[in-house]
Amino acid sequence: MQPLPNMQKKLYYGSAYYPELWPEADIAADLAHFKATGIDVVRMGEFAWSTMEPDEGCISLDFFRRVIDRLHANGIDTIFCTPTPTPPIWLTDGHPERLFQDEQGRRMHHGARQHVCTNNPAFRERSRIIVEAQARALGRHPGVIAWQTDNEFACHVGACCCSTCASLWHVWLEQRYGTVDTLNTAWGAEIWSERYQRFDQVPQPLITPFVHNASLQTAYRFFTRAMLAEFQCEQVDIIRRHSDAPVTHNSNIGFRLDNAQIFKPLDFASFDDYPDCDNWRHMLDNYGIWRTVKPGRPFWVMETSTSHNGYLAAFQKPHRTGYLTVEALAAYASGAQGFSHWLWRQQRAGCEQTHGAVLSAWGQPTIGYEPVLAVNRMRREVESLMVESEFRPPEIAITYSDAARAFMFTEPHENLDYLQLMRRWYATLFDAGLPCELAFAFTDFSGYKVLCTPYMYHVPAEFMARMLAFVQAGGTWIVGPLTGLRTAEHTVPTDCGLGEIEVLAGVETVFSFPITNTGATGEALGCSAPLEYWASLFACRGSSRVVGTVKGGVAPGLAFITEQDVGRGRIVMLGAQPAGEEGQAMIRTLVSHYAKLAGVRLPLKTTLGTVVIPRTDAKGEFWVAINMDGAGGSVDLPAPAIDLLSGETIPAGSLAMPPYAYRLIR
Amino acid sequence: MQPLPNMQKKLYYGSAYYPELWPEADIAADLAHFKATGIDVVRMGEFAWSTMEPDEGCISLDFFRRVIDRLHANGIDTIFCTPTPTPPIWLTDGHPERLFQDEQGRRMHHGARQHVCTNNPAFRERSRIIVEAQARALGRHPGVIAWQTDNEFACHVGACCCSTCASLWHVWLEQRYGTVDTLNTAWGAEIWSERYQRFDQVPQPLITPFVHNASLQTAYRFFTRAMLAEFQCEQVDIIRRHSDAPVTHNSNIGFRLDNAQIFKPLDFASFDDYPDCDNWRHMLDNYGIWRTVKPGRPFWVMETSTSHNGYLAAFQKPHRTGYLTVEALAAYASGAQGFSHWLWRQQRAGCEQTHGAVLSAWGQPTIGYEPVLAVNRMRREVESLMVESEFRPPEIAITYSDAARAFMFTEPHENLDYLQLMRRWYATLFDAGLPCELAFAFTDFSGYKVLCTPYMYHVPAEFMARMLAFVQAGGTWIVGPLTGLRTAEHTVPTDCGLGEIEVLAGVETVFSFPITNTGATGEALGCSAPLEYWASLFACRGSSRVVGTVKGGVAPGLAFITEQDVGRGRIVMLGAQPAGEEGQAMIRTLVSHYAKLAGVRLPLKTTLGTVVIPRTDAKGEFWVAINMDGAGGSVDLPAPAIDLLSGETIPAGSLAMPPYAYRLIR
Amino acid sequence: MQPLPNMQKKLYYGSAYYPELWPEADIAADLAHFKATGIDVVRMGEFAWSTMEPDEGCISLDFFRRVIDRLHANGIDTIFCTPTPTPPIWLTDGHPERLFQDEQGRRMHHGARQHVCTNNPAFRERSRIIVEAQARALGRHPGVIAWQTDNEFACHVGACCCSTCASLWHVWLEQRYGTVDTLNTAWGAEIWSERYQRFDQVPQPLITPFVHNASLQTAYRFFTRAMLAEFQCEQVDIIRRHSDAPVTHNSNIGFRLDNAQIFKPLDFASFDDYPDCDNWRHMLDNYGIWRTVKPGRPFWVMETSTSHNGYLAAFQKPHRTGYLTVEALAAYASGAQGFSHWLWRQQRAGCEQTHGAVLSAWGQPTIGYEPVLAVNRMRREVESLMVESEFRPPEIAITYSDAARAFMFTEPHENLDYLQLMRRWYATLFDAGLPCELAFAFTDFSGYKVLCTPYMYHVPAEFMARMLAFVQAGGTWIVGPLTGLRTAEHTVPTDCGLGEIEVLAGVETVFSFPITNTGATGEALGCSAPLEYWASLFACRGSSRVVGTVKGGVAPGLAFITEQDVGRGRIVMLGAQPAGEEGQAMIRTLVSHYAKLAGVRLPLKTTLGTVVIPRTDAKGEFWVAINMDGAGGSVDLPAPAIDLLSGETIPAGSLAMPPYAYRLIR
């Protein structure tokens, strides 16, 4: 493992910590519990603006300096956060114009968080001042090993529609389009007489009797995301002037962000998520996708619960005993350097009192305490092997794009949810034993052999160019379904159904239409499945070949899967989604077929619910085998192996994996 | 067929056409496809206000004149529309007071359509100016065979609650009631101390802690509809000053309009609807109801899809192959002179990119193209027979009233939906082989023998008088359920349960109450069925007779069906809705019973899903037999017949009808 | 029976009466029907502000004086109401600031009721003036036997968020907390930087991107309720200055009130409810809970339907024949002195036209008429026995707290609904034949032997003290589930899981977490059931004993039921809700176990759906046996008994109870 800059070569185990909410005298007890549990890093400050600056301009970091000093003296590091998700009351008192305004025109109020428009100039000024004060005060503190900007951007809010945003929107449009006629043409704004005379007339997506123009909707999403990224840049720039510690942001795949822009100026990836123990696959897909934000660098699980998440109106069931250990082990094995809980001590107030913690509000161990001890034991057991080895990434990826998700928000067709669709693709391949991950579309794809790009309505030119290079270098690119249907302006291409990709793939879209429930069946590679969602059905041109053909429905006989050799690789078009169980089987067969052709290395075989994570060290490759589902299972060993923890030899054949067991085997 | 004024004696096949959205150079290709597909009429202009008047006062019809010239030169006619559903940005920029305001007090914004209050004086002035300019410029153009006002009035919006509407509402109330005390008495406004001192105090139906007074709600619906009709009248008057071409509006039974007022100043009926091929009955009930708007005149199907409708967030599945031909044939056979698609070329922008078309956004045939060719072949085949014959209307109708629907919106009881209830009644009779149609309550009922009037909470005096005349002339009027329960002011009658109708029908409403799930069963004509919804149970007075009796429940022994001879006809009261499958059977038995007594002529017998549409020509009657459901079926021929298309003789007996087959048989 | 002050020693049978809505000439017919049906008391005036004061300041009570005179002359008494739920139009015309404003910031409008903020000073002034005028005019009228303030406080509205309320809220907070720092500490407002600098910054619970601080939410509920109680006090004080008649309010357990504060200044309890005949248990639990508002005093059922309730958009099915009689008898037997219907004559206007009544809008008997006659016959039959006897209260109660409900509104966990949970507990015990009732937490608990207090998140000190006294005097207090989890400020205790109660019960909360679906099973007293909701699992300290133990899940082996002797009684802790059918059985077994130990007297055994209500008179105890479910059943007589109505002897053994039969047996 190549540790993150400013960090030690070790595995970190952490927790979110809110000393500002408790009597300072309680810190001593916390320190004792930190030691007992092995927690060696805390994240602090992200909601503490009113502690740092109780009255406008009265800033003091003394409290946090004292805390960080004490932590540092006890061997506990700190990740320090900017507190901008929770503006104090003095920032909005008497200033309703600073509040976030939703698409129904309703202003938010003080009382929760993210209630202020992050584009508001007064907010921005106060943000710069507080971040400057933090960085200046603690930027060189040896206990501060990293910074986090804000927290969970956009976790509660979508696009603000206040008048500040209106002005910025008009500026952004002018920068993007130059002239309003360019915008009118790009958006097809003559439709429904939407045509604008001036940029300042272009509405925000406030309510209308029916829906807004798709181009406007998608553009507003991009505008909002760009503004948020710009806001973060301001903070990062300030921090860097006073600190060498690496900077991250705590993101989540469910929030409406452009993670490409958010992570570009950052040093490492971190995220939070809270799937319950039955949704362990979601945690694994997180490990993959967040690793790809900064390839080659360890990532952090910045927040996850010790047992269950919750707030006033809902909560999860606690993890089963044993799960937390394997969740953490899978993180470390997949490339995490840090694994951190939310939160240390149960909230006594606010709205998250029911969220699991390490200690209860009355300072006693919770049901999450013993699992934390178990995680720490596991960490100590595997740490030396982990830090001297590296995660070996899979050779198959499903490309994930926040921009594609934005397009689908605008145009959901049949209530399609991009995130769910991606996770289903991931689960389809994962459960077939194909070594794969979700990977951000902006990541570096060298090292992969097969890439799947479903549901990317618009394929940006920059992405297309990288894919073409990937294919020409020998990669296999499986394209679709629903990929390439729209232009960058969220309009329909007027040259052919899927734009440039048709030329590259040697196909022509003959018909493009919704195929769900039309009776159409796809046949390919010995599989047969109904087809669903929007379909692009093809005729082959030139040297491309039909791989799958449609039977029945309104357009029988056309191709829905084609294959074209390009350079040393190939482009496979998938024109419609195979549906149901048969559809899953068809996708598995298809990807397995190309994985085999591409020489993808397969992992050890396991029963469903047991996974093997590959790592390499100086001696070669070894596997972290984990039973994730708590039901037990087995791993097929093709040859005798060594158990790296015990040093014992394991015979070839089926290695039993009891519930939540793990083995490091070579 | 008596063609519409200004039109040729032929069947038209058309499409909505938006040349303003595409490069003018593309028109040449469109003309070639028009010829290839047989499209001989286009509808244009309804959303093109910003093309005609890009800046306020800068009006030019030159573009449309050029297009109409070219179309006309190629033998293609135009229906030209006023563009008022889509006010340009200059109409609302800086003028929020012109925007539509909903019942929650929220203003709409520019970006979709129908976002302006059609009662706003500034909007009205601009509407008059643009319509005047259109009519002046193109009113005498030989290519313009008809006009359409606006488009789909009220398709996205209900009742506007802006301050302009408030003022007009108060004027309307004063005109209707004269004094505020009259209003207070009519509405029973002393209830809940609602009582008004002045008309200008009467609220619009803006939000309250509970629901508004029923009288106010229903009155506001009537006010809104009357204003919309007045708006249209302004446009019609202007058009007529400059054009002799007939004028229509493209309506839809699902919108919240008073079609009686809307169509009164118009020359012919047109509508749009988009049922998918499994809901072919909905298209047939449309053909019936829209024919009755202007009895004796052909109607137009102004918009329907070639394959499927759609927008960003939803779409239908495409029609099965063969359906479009029989959908169009059934229209022509039922009295349509025109059948027109929405739309010609797939939208590249806006919010309806997924809607089916004839050409794709990239100018190629869609999956709707071949079906269009098939429609055209069918048209050529049947046209001469059609134009020399007339549709023979059925002798049974279910009266449909927009006013009744307004009452039910105000008072939905058990989530009752007037439109669904009407369609269920229609399907109940239709599937029993009874020749029937939904018919607007304002139509001329001479020619019918049996009329059913269910769910008309209030029976207007004018309608009652026409029904009485109908009955006295020998007709059978089946009244109920839920008919007559309310006064014109949406209050409960205080003389008896159902007002005047009780006297005419010789019944007394003994109890009036909700009968659903009370265990009450109705027995009549050998049928038995549970009863549901609000019930009026009767005792017979004078010479009336009990036909159906209630068993069980809270009021056993009373009548729920009675019969009274009136003049040469009879009034049948139906006091409760028979429920479920048994209820459907009871209604079929009841109506069949009276149809037989009334001497209703029955059509040829068919299997379910195959229909026969009667037409008459100089030689007598013939039948257009169509398999509508795509499953195939048969027609029972009582005697040998002639196939009018092939000239061949068909033997008596069962004539097989393959999927989507049609035969013209005499 | 000890009759209410100012009332006769008799059973009253009444109806809501709206003579202001009908021609005055109709009163004669009403009087005839009152006599025919036995209705001897009417409630009037609650919506008649505009009749009493049609223009601001023009007050006349002449109409109501005439009506009350005529009623009184005919032996019919009046309960007269203040009309403040329905402010006339002149109160809000031109004064939008007086309107109720919801949490989304939307103002209500005139047209229904409760649309005005009851804290608005102008409204308050007009309220005082009209009430003063009423009381002055009719306070000594011999026909006025009681007063009702307003009607159904808060039936349509929750917490108003207008600017008047904002100011009062800030004053209320200052009175409660003294300094803003006290508030900040109490609410833990440093969380999310919510911290306030001044009271006038504390927001109302207007919309935020996520949820408000729990302390703020709960405090705002208390503030709103306190203001409403203060409003009522104003009216009560005015009435008392001019009248000796007792004062009540017509409440309903479903409204968001603090009934403790509402009923404190009142003389007797009254309520309304409208369960249909299948939900007869709901009516019985109402009888219990409303009796406990004023222990030892008769209560009134102020509104219930003769057959069904309804408004424009929904209605119930009518009661089965026979039900109304037993519903009324059960009321009288359970301690009601009055039983009154809503409403006399079907509304002809407004929005409740479909609600059941005694007469139809056209003045004829409805389906509710004959049932009313039957109630009256029953009343005459039982009246002498009833007025010479007293209801004997049960010895088991489930404590019900409006404050606890407020806490659960703020923190519903798994969509928990306090009212539903209470009713389920009641039904669980009731169906097991345990003599129990829901009882307001503020009632006097002397006389009970077993009290159950589930779902009281916060246990107020005052309540705790009374419970402790109850236990020390020999009572058994069953505490939980979810009782004691929160402080008075809706925060989590920081001393231990459940605060003071742990000390008293001799337990320590080891773990506190959501136990639903974790696989945990509780075992106790030979029963076994899954556990659900939020759990507090215990270790016993000192002399307490484990009664129930958890198997499986994440914390096996801990106690979920414990028992501790305290004084002459005991405290039983129930740490989690036993779920499903087995859970119901466990609760029945648990409560039966302690009921037996506590010497609770059990009633006669009956089949499910047949109840026995105990009464005592000079000769001892007798039972009112009633078949409530209409399915028939039986009562087990351990010895021969006398039928008090017929005087006949009934042999020991099973006494058959036909559908809706009743017997008074000794």
DSSP line for C462-517:
HHHHHHHHHHHTT-EEEE-SS-S-S-TTS---SSSSSTHHHHHHTEEEEEEEE-TT
Q: Please check whether residue A639 touches C, CB under 8 A.
A: no
SS3 C396: strand
Q: Please check whether residue B32 touches C, CB under 8 A.
A: no
SS3 B634: strand
Residue C650 distance to chain B (closest CA, Å): 32
The predicted-structure confidence for B602-620, as pLDDT tens digits, reads as follows: 999 999 999 999 999 999 9
Predicted pLDDT at C101: 98
Residue C408 distance to chain A (closest CA, Å): 9
CA distances to A274, A322, B102, C92, C553 from A627, rounded to whole Å, are: 19, 10, 56, 68, 19
Place B183 in a pLDDT band, splitting at 50, 70 and 90.
Answer: very high
Choice among C46, C303, C411, C532 that is catalytic: C303
DSSP string of A239-253? HHHH--S-EEEEE-T
CA distances to B440, B494, C254, C309, C595 from B513, rounded to whole Å, are: 28, 16, 26, 10, 46
Q: Which residues of A308-341 are buried (b: 16+ CB within 10 A; e: fewer)?
A: bbbbbeebbbbbbbbbbbbbbbbbbbbbbbbbbb
For A366, the token pair is 């919770």
Query: Which residues of B are part of the catalytic machinery?
Result: 152, 303
The predicted-structure confidence for C559-587, as pLDDT tens digits, reads as follows: 999 999 999 999 999 999 999 999 999 99
Place B386 in a pLDDT band, splitting at 50, 70 and 90.
Answer: very high
pLDDT, averaged across chain C: 97
Query: Closest Cα to residue C21, out of C39, C57, C45, C38?
Result: C45
Residue B179 distance to chain C (closest CA, Å): 16
Within 8 A of B512 by CB-CB distance, chain C residues are 360, 366
Within 8 A of C108 by CB-CB distance, chain B residues are 207-209
Asked whether the beta carbons of residue B193 and residue C312 sit closer than 8 angstroms, the reply is no
Q: Please check whether residue C189 touches A, CB under 8 A.
A: yes
The predicted-structure confidence for B405-433, as pLDDT tens digits, reads as follows: 999 999 999 999 999 999 999 999 999 99
What is the spatial distance between Cα C20 and Cα C45, in angstroms, rounded to a whole number? Answer: 8
Choice among A46, A53, A152, A437 that is catalytic: A152
Asked whether the beta carbons of residue B189 and residue C111 sit closer than 8 angstroms, the reply is no
Residue A336 distance to chain C (closest CA, Å): 27
The predicted-structure confidence for B213-236, as pLDDT tens digits, reads as follows: 999 999 999 999 999 999 999 999
For C27, the token pair is 């009163």
Q: Please check whether residue C278 touches B, CB under 8 A.
A: no
SS3 A529: strand
Q: Please check whether residue C95 touches B, CB under 8 A.
A: no
As a whole number, mean pLDDT of residues B278-303 equals 97
Within 8 A of C107 by CB-CB distance, chain A residues are none
User: Between A191, A495, A554, which is nearest B321 by CB?
Assistant: A554
What is the spatial distance between Cα B533 and Cα B527, in angstroms, rounded to a whole number? Answer: 19
Those of residues 465-494 in A touching chain B at CB distance below 8 A are 486, 489, 491-494
Q: Please check whether residue C188 touches A, CB under 8 A.
A: yes
Choice among A46, A53, A303, A327 that is catalytic: A303
Predicted pLDDT at B430: 96
Place B98 in a pLDDT band, splitting at 50, 70 and 90.
Answer: very high
A152 is catalytic: yes
Q: Please check whether residue B348 touches A, CB under 8 A.
A: yes
The predicted-structure confidence for B3-34, as pLDDT tens digits, reads as follows: 999 999 999 999 999 999 999 999 999 999 99
As a whole number, mean pLDDT of residues B613-636 equals 98
Predicted pLDDT at A255: 97
Residue B99 near residue B109, CB atoms below 8 Å: yes
Within 8 A of A116 by CB-CB distance, chain C residues are none
Place C507 in a pLDDT band, splitting at 50, 70 and 90.
Answer: very high
Asked whether the beta carbons of residue B47 and residue A193 sit closer than 8 angstroms, the reply is yes
Domains in chain B: ranges and CATH: 12-161+220-388 (3.20.20.80), 396-597 (3.40.50.880), 610-665 (2.60.40.1180)
Predicted pLDDT at B148: 98
CB pairs under 8 A between A and C: 176
Q: Please check whether residue A50 touches C, CB under 8 A.
A: yes
Within 8 A of A489 by CB-CB distance, chain B residues are 349
Q: Please check whether residue C108 touches B, CB under 8 A.
A: yes
Those of residues 306-335 in C touching chain B at CB distance below 8 A are 307-308, 310-321
What is the spatial distance between Cα B549 and Cα B586, in angstroms, rounded to a whole number? Answer: 13
Q: Tell me which chain B residue has its CA closest to the CA of residue C87.
A: B193
Best to test chain C binding among A30, A64, A89, A352 (most C CBs inside 10 Å): A89
For A4, the token pair is 């993150």
Q: Where are the beta strands (DSSP E) in C515-597?
A: 521-524, 527-532, 534-540, 545-551, 559-566, 569-574, 577-578
The predicted-structure confidence for A358-386, as pLDDT tens digits, reads as follows: 999 999 999 999 999 999 999 999 999 99
Predicted pLDDT at A579: 98
What is the spatial distance between Cα A153 and Cα A114, in angstroms, rounded to a whole number? Answer: 8
Which element (helix H / strand E) includes A427? helix A418-430
Predicted pLDDT at B89: 98
Best to test chain A binding among B20, B63, B102, B367 (most A CBs inside 10 Å): B367
Provide the sign of the torsion angle of the four alpha carbons A282, A283, A288, A293, taken in this order.
Answer: positive
Residue A514 distance to chain B (closest CA, Å): 6
Which element (helix H / strand E) includes A506? none
Asked whether the beta carbons of residue B50 and residue A413 sit closer than 8 angstroms, the reply is no
User: Between C105, C215, C415, which is nearest A349 by CB?
Assistant: C215
Provide the sign of the torsion angle of the four alpha carbons A403, A405, A406, A410, taken in this order.
Answer: positive
Q: Please check whether residue A518 touches B, CB under 8 A.
A: yes
CB pairs under 8 A between B and C: 174
Residue C517 distance to chain B (closest CA, Å): 36
Within 8 A of C51 by CB-CB distance, chain B residues are 190, 193
Asked whether the beta carbons of residue B108 and residue A208 sit closer than 8 angstroms, the reply is yes
What is the spatial distance between Cα C29 and Cα B190, in angstroms, rounded to a whole number? Answer: 21
User: Between B193, B206, B486, which is nearest C109 by CB?
Assistant: B206
What is the total residue count of chain A? 666
Q: Which residues of B514-546 are buried (b: 16+ CB within 10 A; e: fewer)?
A: bbbbbebbbbbeebbbbbbbbbbbbbbeeebeb
Positions in chain A whose pLDDT score sits under 50: none
User: Between C54, C318, C348, which is nearest B494 by CB?
Assistant: C348
For C373, the token pair is 């006659």
Predicted pLDDT at B177: 98
SS3 A79: strand
Asked whether the beta carbons of residue C216 and residue A111 sit closer than 8 angstroms, the reply is yes
What is the spatial distance between Cα C507 and Cα C523, in angstroms, rounded to a whole number? Answer: 18
**SS3 per residue for B356-394:** CCCECCCCCECCCHHHHHHHHHHHHHHHHHHHCEEECCC
For C319, the token pair is 């009661």
Those of residues 204-263 in B touching chain C at CB distance below 8 A are 204-216
User: Between A193, A201, A213, which is nearest B49 by CB?
Assistant: A193
Asked whether the beta carbons of residue C207 and residue A86 sit closer than 8 angstroms, the reply is no
User: Between C193, C495, C518, which is nearest A87 by CB?
Assistant: C193
User: Between C197, C411, C518, which is nearest A317 by CB?
Assistant: C518
User: Between A90, A313, A320, which is nearest C554 by CB?
Assistant: A320
Predicted pLDDT at B654: 98
Chains that touch C (3 or more CB pairs under 8 A): A, B
Q: Tell me which chain B residue has its CA closest to the CA of residue C277.
A: B518
Q: Which amino acid is at B478?
A: I
Q: Please check whether residue B362 touches A, CB under 8 A.
A: yes
Q: Tell me which chain A residue has its CA closest to the CA of residue B106.
A: A104
Chains that touch B (3 or more CB pairs under 8 A): A, C
Percent of chain B with pLDDT over 90: 100
